[in-house]
Structure 1
Amino acid sequence: MSRTLNRFPRNDIMSLTAGAPRYDLAESIGPDLRLRALLHGGDATPAPEGPGEGLEGLGGLALSYGTTAGDPALRRAIAAAHGAAADDVVVTVGGMHALFLLAFILCRPGDEAVTTSPLFPNAMNALTAVGADVKTLPVSFDDGYRLDLAALRSLLSPRTKLVCLATPQNPSGVAIPPGTVQRILTMMAAICPEAYLLADETYRQAVYGDEEAAPSMLSLSPRVVSCASLSKCHGAPGLRLGWAITRDPALREQLILGKFNTVIACSRADEALALRVFKREAEIVGERRRRLSEGLARTAEWVQANGDLLDWVCPDAGALCCLRLKPAAFDDAAVARFYDAMARHDVRVANGTWFGDEARVFRLGFGLLEMDDLDEGLRALSACLALAQKKAA
């Protein structure tokens, strides 16, 4: 096993989260509480039974440790959505847990990691927290947040252990075309063949209307690792359910060991509810895609109406986009007034500085609110634009 894939030692105590024998005298806990007893009282430890269909069917769920890799049925559902095998999937406590474990496993202090900026700050923090020497590829509003492959190539070296890319990106919603990813993998094979490409595909299925979601990048190479969660495309961030998918058995083993050594297992209640989300995925995701399509259309109309004040980069997917206050209309003082005005109108956008961009760029989300509220919010944002343009006395 290579140096970078030996972060967590194996210990057979992990067998406690696998199948139990009839007489389990190795455990350190009492009998498992069942959800029915928690909700309705009565005997806390009825005869063993699993969760059935319907809300009442969850009453039989034992609030026990789950398996470290994740519930087998849930892993099969995740794998099916990615064209992968269930044994390739490790269920994590949200997508950030997967990102951190991968950064920790693959990058020792001084190893190099390559990513983009602007970027979701937690993803950057995971890389810096493990001591990686992070090489950052700037992607700009002016270039539509598209990757410059020549610039990316200049950042790769034999010390590169991880290339971390989000597609679609956060904050812009811009996707990386499969052809571009393939060229990146070719560069990596020539310069840093031991490195992995981490594809954060959190927004992959959040397309608009009847558009088809892009296939997972997993199909492009065994060196690709995909991570995502139920938070964005499925509307279930409260379940804290994510995953990492890899076709590398050694890396998968390290992910399982890493999960065992950090959280042991996911919540069985979260896993049971997540499986129900996947059983209704076509309905849930389909409805949300129609909503995103309408939100995007209303946002585009608002941007057009305010075209003398701001520009935008139309997203490829997701409930988010980046807009920029035009320098001709807003000097730095006006940009500050724009953000200050929001408190008066009970409205918020995501300042570009959160993601490593300039302050005159901001992320606007158009998927959370009901459409009437989105319209009201955009009107409030128009009022903020007007207030910002007024010179201070």
Structure 2
Amino acid sequence: MNASQQRVDEQQLSRSNSENAREWRGRFPYNEIISLLDVNRPFNLAESTSQDLTLGELLDLSGLERIRDLKLGYGKSAGAQALREAIADACKVPAGQIVTTQGTALGLFLLAFEVCRPGDEAVLATPCFPPSRDCLLGAGVSVREVRLSFENGYRLDLEQLAASLSLNTKLVSIASPQNPSGVQTSRADIEKLLVLMERRSPGAILFIDETYREATYGDDVAIDSFAGLDSRIVTGASVSKALGAPGLRTGWLTVADPDLRSRLTVAKMNTVISGSVLDEALAAALLRNREGVLASRRHLLAGALEELATWCEREQKRIEWVRPDAGALCCLRLRRDAFDDVAVSRFWDLLPRYDLQLACGTWFGESDRVFRLGFGYLPAARLGSALAALSSALDAVSA
């Protein structure tokens, strides 16, 4: 397929998706982020993962020498023991506290579905990964959003959170590092939030999405998981982002409370029965070898982040950004003194012409001036060309 035909197909898909959004009647809200599963332009700066791990790279890791002997029967509802032990080692909690899930989003859905009842509320820090909001709505939960600001570097706003908490709050959901910004929340702020919850919402669970926690830069050491900090904390993560294996669809929850953990295991049994034994065996090997896999990826991310920082410095009259603390993603914003609202709309219309793909801020609960830029997905040799194409698109908008 030539580039022209590809753009036509993408435009037809975009129109189809827009029509779907207008006519949508599903229990889960429609979000354009689903387009990332269908469209992959040459300069894809929309993805938030590091580069995809190949099956060959995975099979070369130690611990898979007898994978051909694996019996493809049902797995355990709580997850394979080897996988839970590998997760426990990474999170520094007992393996008995782990429940595996098909990705972090399913874990949050099961958590919301189990702990919230009609009339209960969930407090959610936004902007956020769309399923983090939409799976709560799909579970029938009333959601109170606490909107973090670009101007404040997307730092957690404890005053806003406190004002949103009530006796009806049964779940508080945040991410650290955040998606789309890559901004982390400090241990001190988590401890302050727990105090606020004890005062205002004593029956609430704090969910922390830690999917990007180990996607640090260069020799930076990942912060410890919040899993062992307090029994009210449930963390979620997966092998999708830092380790580059979203196709394994393997994530987990850490759940200190034995009653809640049992209920979540039953909920998982009644929805998906168990995880794939093949996926879980591969994920266990990946996690056991995670330091070696992460080391090379962290250096690639560090180089990519510095290249992006240099580009943002050159484009500072047209672009603002929030530098991330971790992850292969960050938020950029089109400056108001450089682009009016009409120009912003034109910017999004022009991207296919330059083979560019970005994640629009509206997907995450931000304005369309903001976009998530993924700097770890493209090979290092192509990132510079993609950023040059983005500069060309900005030139065209300004012309």
The change in CA–CA distance for 1:275 and 1:54 in structure 2 (over 3 A counts) is closer
Is the Cα contact below 8 Å between 2:62 and 2:289 reproduced in 1? Answer: no
What CA distance in whole angstroms lies between the structure 2 residues aligned with 1:238 and 1:180? 33
**CA deviation after TM superposition for structure 1 residue 128, in Å:** 1.1
Amino acid corresponding to residue 364 of structure 1 in structure 2: L
Pick from 110, 115, 121 the counterpart of residue 112 of structure 1: 121
Q: Which secondary structure does the structure 1 equivalent of 2:128 belong to?
A: coil
Pick from 339, 342, 349 the counterpart of residue 340 of structure 1: 349
- The correspondence of residues 173-322 of structure 1 with structure 2, limited to 5 A, is 173-322=182-331
**CA deviation after TM superposition for structure 1 residue 220, in Å:** 2.1
Amino acid corresponding to residue 194 of structure 1 in structure 2: G
What CA distance in whole angstroms lies between the structure 2 residues aligned with 1:90 and 1:213? 22
**CA deviation after TM superposition for structure 1 residue 107, in Å:** 1.1
The change in CA–CA distance for 1:53 and 1:315 in structure 2 (over 3 A counts) is closer
Q: How big is each residue's C-alpha offset from its partner over 1:178-227, in whole Å with a ceiling of 9 and x where there is no partner?
A: 10010000010111111100010011111111111111112321100010
The change in CA–CA distance for 1:311 and 1:53 in structure 2 (over 3 A counts) is closer
**CA deviation after TM superposition for structure 1 residue 251, in Å:** 0.6
| 1:87 and 2:96 are equivalent in the alignment | yes
What CA distance in whole angstroms lies between the structure 2 residues aligned with 1:332 and 1:320? 25
| 1:350 and 2:370 are equivalent in the alignment | no
The change in CA–CA distance for 1:190 and 1:365 in structure 2 (over 3 A counts) is same
**CA deviation after TM superposition for structure 1 residue 117, in Å:** 1.6
2:338 counterpart residue number: 329
2:174 counterpart residue number: 165
| 1:103 and 2:112 are equivalent in the alignment | yes
What CA distance in whole angstroms lies between the structure 2 residues aligned with 1:365 and 1:133? 31
Root mean square deviation of aligned Cα: 1.2
**CA deviation after TM superposition for structure 1 residue 146, in Å:** 1.0
Q: How big is each residue's C-alpha offset from its partner over 1:219-238, in whole Å with a ceiling of 9 and x where there is no partner?
A: 32110001000000111100
| 1:78 and 2:87 are equivalent in the alignment | yes
**CA deviation after TM superposition for structure 1 residue 273, in Å:** 0.5
User: Which protein shows a greater Rg?
Assistant: 1
Amino acid corresponding to residue 358 of structure 1 in structure 2: S
What CA distance in whole angstroms lies between the structure 1 residues aligned with 2:79 and 2:126? 32
Q: How big is each residue's C-alpha offset from its partner over 1:299-331, in whole Å with a ceiling of 9 and x where there is no partner?
A: 000000111101100000000000000001000
**CA deviation after TM superposition for structure 1 residue 344, in Å:** 0.6
2:19 counterpart residue number: none
| 1:373 and 2:376 are equivalent in the alignment | no
Is the Cα contact below 8 Å between 1:229 and 1:243 reproduced in 2? Answer: yes
Q: Which secondary structure does the structure 2 equivalent of 1:219 belong to?
A: coil
Q: How big is each residue's C-alpha offset from its partner over 1:226-269, in whole Å with a ceiling of 9 and x where there is no partner?
A: 10000001111000000001110001001110110011111110
What CA distance in whole angstroms lies between the structure 2 residues aligned with 1:84 and 1:165? 20
**CA deviation after TM superposition for structure 1 residue 54, in Å:** 6.6
TM-score by length of 2: 0.83
| 1:155 and 2:164 are equivalent in the alignment | yes
The runs of 5 or more residues in structure 2 that have no matched partner are: 1-60
The change in CA–CA distance for 1:215 and 1:168 in structure 2 (over 3 A counts) is same
Q: Which secondary structure does the structure 2 equivalent of 1:253 belong to?
A: helix
**CA deviation after TM superposition for structure 1 residue 294, in Å:** 0.7
1:133 counterpart residue number: 142
The runs of 5 or more residues in structure 1 that have no matched partner are: 1-51
Aligned residues: 339
What CA distance in whole angstroms lies between the structure 2 residues aligned with 1:232 and 1:374? 18
Pick from 371, 375, 382 the counterpart of residue 391 of structure 2: 382
What CA distance in whole angstroms lies between the structure 2 residues aligned with 1:227 and 1:56? 29
**CA deviation after TM superposition for structure 1 residue 147, in Å:** 1.7
TM-score by length of 1: 0.85
**CA deviation after TM superposition for structure 1 residue 55, in Å:** 5.8
What CA distance in whole angstroms lies between the structure 1 residues aligned with 2:181 and 2:347? 20
Q: Which secondary structure does the structure 1 equivalent of 2:356 belong to?
A: coil
**CA deviation after TM superposition for structure 1 residue 57, in Å:** 2.2
Identity between Structure 1 and Structure 2 (%) = 47
Amino acid corresponding to residue 178 of structure 1 in structure 2: R
Amino acid corresponding to residue 249 of structure 2 in structure 1: R
1:3 counterpart residue number: none
